[in-house]
Structure 1
């Protein structure tokens, strides 16, 4: 059974990612309005009735704006960590509110969703690996650096939505105040183009068929800069830059899954400490 996936929107304005096995689907984050989410899914030929849950990575507004209305209108369970939930002002039917824990795997009619922690300036941030029939699709955005959990799941994945938030030169030379530059580039901020390329170059595996570069900054990045940086290293991996203005195409992985091979190059230790930092 094939696995389908798409970015409905990706950026600091709104984030929403779709993953399905053709029968059951989930949304990772719901930063678009309910109406806009429905429109974009309809344009892709996707059926909202197949969506069985929304998974929330953290409480920042660009990830949760559409949660209440989507859950209410379509009676969708909302999976979120308890700490994250307590840092939102959302209201969801108590019967639809589901709390997950670190490293929990949620089973949903043929889909398995692994919830793993990451480093970001939020109460209790998570990324997700969605699996079906041995095919793994991971959503790894809003990370300050590639911690051990991120690298482990990146190497297990056949497709990854990977953050490539900012160009280091553009951020350094831009007009953001110093404290904001430090926040963005810090261990609990966002992943730069160069850091994302390091993850891809050093930790990719032959089974990685799709890399969707996500959550680009409007002010400190450009899609053409990201594309030019990654395409020379793409090899057999299809590299796509997700838009902050529209949905991507609907991608599909079909066929027998491969076993997880070793990386194409010898792994190098990340520059930053592998310990998961305390969050606030």
Structure 2
């Protein structure tokens, strides 16, 4: 079995993504209450007690809200950076593995994992690459801008979950106070639509089997704007592009068996 993934929900109210291989089932972030995570997992036919591990990108509530209760309820090991651990109170975790986002690849069962650092307003945030069966999935959300390191890391991707947080004009004209606008649109905030498209233009889009837009702001963006921009700038992605919802789980995305390059 090659790698497959599904998004349980993505946005400011909560984020979680599940990845499966032949031997492991990983939850990345746990930003909904534990009972809601269980409900959304069940929509994919998954029981929470079958999770192998939970990986955490950073300590903001929309990524860790249900982490402590879910991990304790089912004895699920948790992986996160030291800064993320010290950035919030999760209660007692059954098993904690502290990771360094600069160490390169390591493994959980047959799933290879490579965390990498990103600029975001949290203690020690990271994002991840995942590899199994010759296919590589990249995750990039909650970052203020694209560093050369990020662009280089994501060249390896066969599929990408990518933040399209806000439309800059909607953010400037929207309901957020100036301080929050500055935070969201700043260098340690969130990617806007044009930044995300700019990254895609730097990647080998012919290689990408899936591009999933994620973490859309419900007040400062719209699926229509995102779709229009992507189809205008990158029309070759039209049949491989989709948008994750805050309120609904996605279907499974599968990475067919491919040979590493």
Residue in 1 that maps onto 2:154: 154
1:234 Cα deviation (Å)?
4.2
Residue in 2 that maps onto 1:246: 248
Name the TM-score, length of structure 2 as normaliser: 0.93
For residues 160 and 246 of structure 2, the distance between their equivalents in structure 1, rounded to whole angstroms, comes to 17
Residue in 1 that maps onto 2:95: 96
Residue in 2 that maps onto 1:165: 165
CA RMSD of aligned residues (A): 1.6
Residue in 2 that maps onto 1:266: none
Distance 1:122 1:75, change over 3 A: same
Residue in 1 that maps onto 2:236: 235
List alignment gaps of at least 5 residues for structure 2.
none
Number of residue equivalences: 258
1:49 Cα deviation (Å)?
4.5
For residues 190 and 107 of structure 1, the distance between their equivalents in structure 2, rounded to whole angstroms, comes to 29
Residue in 2 that maps onto 1:204: 204
1:206 Cα deviation (Å)?
2.1
1:11-50 paired onto structure 2 within 5 Å: 11-50=11-50
8 A contact 1:144–1:186 mirrored in 2: yes
Cα deviation 1:58-92 (Å, max 9, x = unaligned): 11000001101211122111111111111111113
Distance 1:48 1:23, change over 3 A: farther
1:50 Cα deviation (Å)?
4.1
1:77-92 paired onto structure 2 within 5 Å: 77-92=77-92
For residues 7 and 171 of structure 2, the distance between their equivalents in structure 1, rounded to whole angstroms, comes to 25
For residues 81 and 2 of structure 2, the distance between their equivalents in structure 1, rounded to whole angstroms, comes to 29
List alignment gaps of at least 5 residues for structure 1.
260-280
Residue in 2 that maps onto 1:277: none
2:260 is aligned with 1:255: no
Deviates more, 1:47-56 or 1:4-13: 47-56
1:106-121 paired onto structure 2 within 5 Å: 106-121=106-121
Distance 1:92 1:234, change over 3 A: farther
For residues 156 and 88 of structure 1, the distance between their equivalents in structure 2, rounded to whole angstroms, comes to 32
2:245 is aligned with 1:219: no
8 A contact 2:81–2:124 mirrored in 1: yes
8 A contact 2:135–2:257 mirrored in 1: no
Name the TM-score, length of structure 1 as normaliser: 0.87
For residues 40 and 257 of structure 2, the distance between their equivalents in structure 1, rounded to whole angstroms, comes to 27
Residue in 2 that maps onto 1:62: 62
2:165 is paired with a residue whose SS is coil
